[in-house]
Amino acid sequence: MKRTRLIVPLAAALLLLGAAHTGRGEDAAEEAARRAGIARQFVSLLGKKHVSKTLIDDAHSEKAWKNLVESYDEEHCYFYQKDIDAFEPMRRAIDDALLKRDISFGEEVYRVYAARARDCAIFATNELAKITADSGFEAELRRPTTGEYVFSGEGRGWPKTEAERNELWRRKLRTELLERLVEAELDAEKSGGKKVSLAEIASALAEDYAQQVDALGEQDDLAAFERYMTSVGASYDPHTHYLSPALQKMFEGEMSLSFCGIGVTIDTRRTGLYVLAIMPDGPAARDGRLKPGDRIVGVGEGDGPIKSGKGVPGEKAIRMISGKKGTKVVLEVVTADGGGARTRIDLVRGIVKLEKNAAKGRLETVKPGGGTLKLGYVKLPLFYGMQAVSILDLFKSVRSATADVNEELKKLEQAGARGLVLDLRGNGGGSLLEALMLSSVFMDAGAVAQIQDDDDGDKPMELSGLPGIAGGGWYSRPMVVLIDRGSASASELVSGVLQDRGRAVILGDRQTHGKGSMQEVIQLGKRRGGALVTRGFFYRVTGSSTQVKGVASDIRLPSVLDGITKLGENNLPNALPWTKVAAVKYEKAGDVQRYVPELARRSAARQATNTVFQAHLQKVRGVAEACNRKSLPLDYAAFKAQKRRDLQCGVDKVGFNGLDVDVVPDADACDKNGLPKRGKDVVLDEALNILADLVELSGGSGKGK
């Protein structure tokens, strides 16, 4: 098996709708046998290669069982308790079955889910038909009432009877109607658009469910298999996955800043396929019709029939929308500003350059004490680039995060910038080699991190900077690093060593994500995909892992992610624990920590009198309240008031995608290069003020002496 060593970001592949189809038309028996072989190969590999060194056993089986069942029915509104009871014998037997090449349980759970979901969709269409025909229902919906729909199944069992499930669904449908009605009303208030009747909304929702009935009539063994293997991998830890050939190609595309698709990101936190953002220069961006907030309710291939997108899991949505370069996909869309009207958008798939993930910089100015101070700002969204040092790599034309940052820093030096804000907010990680090289730009040679995996034995291996490649600490000006809850993996390695060696002040959320593990892509063979397996941990030079604990900020400048409880490694199921190893010998590259108390005092004084910053803190609290919510009110007035508050806080700009989170700024909040504008990003504004203070206190020396 071919091995590729790399440290990867969070599972961002599900963000990128674009890849190649994998089917070759084998007959069903041949395809089933191939999948069974992949399953056996996958679980055997996990037992040999995962950092835990544990063979799949009953404990893993229980976790995989829970992962699988909850992945289909997190709300506990599809399965009956009798279904769960029927699945129960496999709770501690998945391991035995997979080692025998038996993948039938994954197919069984899918079949039961599809049947139950189809029944629920039929029930929904019937209920909505009654509502459409009832002229008095809209008045009833607006009348004051009590109660709520608890959409989180956590701590709640499954319905025992059809009557119990139907009542649960009536509550669910009421909140779906309220959601669409209130969104249409608030949109009309804002834009002065046409009022949409509840009958129109109910009819459109019924059509969605009718399409779901048709879609669920098609057996999708591939989707069932991928879901099953994902659940098994996640029984080891949140970052261990089976990568289908399509997902693997997308994963590789992300690291090279290009892939084939239409160029959109989908917000899977919401029910349905809502467009969260349009990637610049992709087919969707060039076409211009698809907008953030639009809901994709159907997908067609070429001139073929439109298939429902409602209730479609992420991996199937990828296959529906993805395809080969030059082929046509047709999207049936309910536009965000169209009052519920549907339109069809045909797009030709093409190469999407992920320039939004490329390093970019800009010269900034602040005016402390009446003077003018030039400062540099560089944003790095991903550690893209080389994965290993070899003769072949050095001759490849590989886009490098370190090289791009270097170029930006040189421009800033020539422009007279006296210090640097390095923005790693939302940076989910990437290449370990790039992280090592980038650290070397800011510090002389010396210890950067430690790693430990089974290839290194019991003793961790010290990783040093690479001055011969990166420039040997040539950039020596004062610097601060911006982090948030989305900063993970390689971002934590870089921010951690800059903090530990006294080179930079860390600003942002309470802590970073807390992903201190390393993953390796192991090929399973031609047309079999690959395994993304956690192989070890990396540690700070102090010996502390970033696993779970992350990197704590020196001065807290909270982003809208700061209070969302579900974010962070510590909140992920089956997260590996924090560990510690012995510290390595290292020299301080500076002593900027001595200035942190005074920097924090000055910043707190500014924040207290800055009405814009205080408004931002109010938004932070509002987003946290909305994202941590587990239920919705059934009362119209309460629902509308809650939705109005949510929109005012910008919660519609925050989207969860698997383990990742995206924050989409307002259209006028970024410049033409995608960098945040001054005055629109209060955290960046204050970070520049803190950097100006650091330049003053340190006398302009990055060593802080």
C-alpha–C-alpha distance, residues 248 and 265, integer Å: 17
- Which residue in this structure is represented by tokens 């919401």? 270
Q: Which of 634, 637, 653 is nearest to 177 (CA)?
A: 634
Range of lowest pLDDT (202-206, 261-265, 452-456): 452-456
Shared domain check, 392 and 310 = no
> Would you call 418 helix, strand, or coil by DSSP?
coil
pLDDT of 420 > 70? The answer is yes
Average pLDDT of the segment spanning 100-114:
96
Q: Is residue 60 part of a domain?
A: yes
Kindly report the backbone phi and psi dihedral angles of residue 266, in degrees, each rounded to the nearest multiple of 5, phi listed first: -110, 135
- Which residue in this structure is represented by tokens 């239920």? 631
Q: Give the pLDDT band of residue 227 (cuts 50, 70, 90).
A: very high
pLDDT digits (tens, 9 = 90+) for 67-82: 999 999 999 999 999 9
Average pLDDT of the segment spanning 200-209:
89
Shared domain check, 571 and 551 = yes
Shared domain check, 93 and 73 = yes
Average pLDDT of the segment spanning 516-536:
91
Range of lowest pLDDT (140-144, 216-220, 532-536): 216-220
Domains held by the chain: number: 3
pLDDT digits (tens, 9 = 90+) for 484-499: 999 999 999 999 999 9
CA separation (Å) from 337 to 190, 195, 199? 10, 12, 18
pLDDT at position 23 is: 42
Kindly report the backbone phi and psi dihedral angles of residue 130, in degrees, each rounded to the nearest multiple of 5, phi listed first: -65, -40
> Would you call 76 helix, strand, or coil by DSSP?
coil
Shared domain check, 392 and 321 = no
C-alpha–C-alpha distance, residues 220 and 106, integer Å: 11
By CB atoms closer than 10 A (0-12, 13-18, 19+), residue 644 is: middle
C-alpha–C-alpha distance, residues 519 and 42, integer Å: 15
The per-residue DSSP string of 539-601 comes to E-TTSBB-TTT--B-SEE---TTTT-TT-SGGGSTTPPPP-B--------S--GGGGHHHHHH
Q: Is residue 104 part of a domain?
A: yes
Shared domain check, 593 and 541 = yes
User: Tokens at residue 17, please?
Assistant: 């709708």
By CB atoms closer than 10 A (0-12, 13-18, 19+), residue 301 is: middle
Q: Is residue 684 part of a domain?
A: yes
pLDDT of 3 > 60? The answer is no
Shared domain check, 677 and 541 = yes
Q: Which of 229, 250, 243 is nearest to 521 (CA)?
A: 243
Residue 290 belongs to domain with CATH number:
2.30.42.10
Shared domain check, 576 and 486 = yes
pLDDT at position 603 is: 98
Look at residues 353, 380, 399 and tell me which one is the last residue of a structural domain.
Answer: 353
List residues bridging with 695 in a β-sheet: none
Range of lowest pLDDT (220-224, 329-333, 390-394, 542-546): 390-394
Q: Give the pLDDT band of residue 267 (cuts 50, 70, 90).
A: low
Higher pLDDT among residues 416 and 273, named by residue:
416
pLDDT of 389 > 70? The answer is no
Look at residues 353, 384, 419 and tell me which one is the last residue of a structural domain.
Answer: 353
Higher pLDDT among residues 122 and 214, named by residue:
122
pLDDT at position 254 is: 58
- Domain, as residue range, for 79: 55-235
Residue 405 belongs to domain with CATH number:
3.90.226.10
Look at residues 296, 330, 353 and tell me which one is the last residue of a structural domain.
Answer: 353
pLDDT of 533 > 80? The answer is yes
By CB atoms closer than 10 A (0-12, 13-18, 19+), residue 414 is: exposed
Higher pLDDT among residues 315 and 108, named by residue:
108
User: Tokens at residue 44, please?
Assistant: 């055997």
Shared domain check, 316 and 231 = no
Shared domain check, 341 and 362 = no
The per-residue DSSP string of 7-64 comes to ---SSGGGG------------HHHHHHHHHHHHHHHHHHHHHHSTT-----HHHHHHH
> Is residue 497 a contact partner of residue 465, using CB atoms and an 8 Å limit?
no
Q: Is residue 552 part of a domain?
A: yes
Q: Is residue 646 part of a domain?
A: yes
Q: Is residue 132 part of a domain?
A: yes
Average pLDDT of the segment spanning 410-423:
97
User: Tokens at residue 175, please?
Assistant: 């909140």
> Is residue 15 a contact partner of residue 434, using CB atoms and an 8 Å limit?
no
Q: Give the pLDDT band of residue 340 (cuts 50, 70, 90).
A: low
pLDDT digits (tens, 9 = 90+) for 362-383: 999 999 877 899 999 999 999 9
Q: Give the pLDDT band of residue 21 (cuts 50, 70, 90).
A: very low
pLDDT digits (tens, 9 = 90+) for 228-252: 999 999 999 999 999 888 777 766 6
Q: Is residue 7 part of a domain?
A: no
Q: Is residue 10 part of a domain?
A: no
C-alpha–C-alpha distance, residues 105 and 97, integer Å: 8
> Is residue 404 a contact partner of residue 550, using CB atoms and an 8 Å limit?
no
pLDDT of 277 > 80? The answer is no
Q: 134 CB contacts (<8 Å, ≥6 apart)?
A: none
Shared domain check, 368 and 318 = no
Backbone conformation region of residue 332, classed left if phi is above 0, alpha if psi is from -120 to 50, else beta: beta
Higher pLDDT among residues 681 and 258, named by residue:
681
Shared domain check, 396 and 503 = yes
Shared domain check, 571 and 536 = yes
> Is residue 663 a contact partner of residue 349, using CB atoms and an 8 Å limit?
no
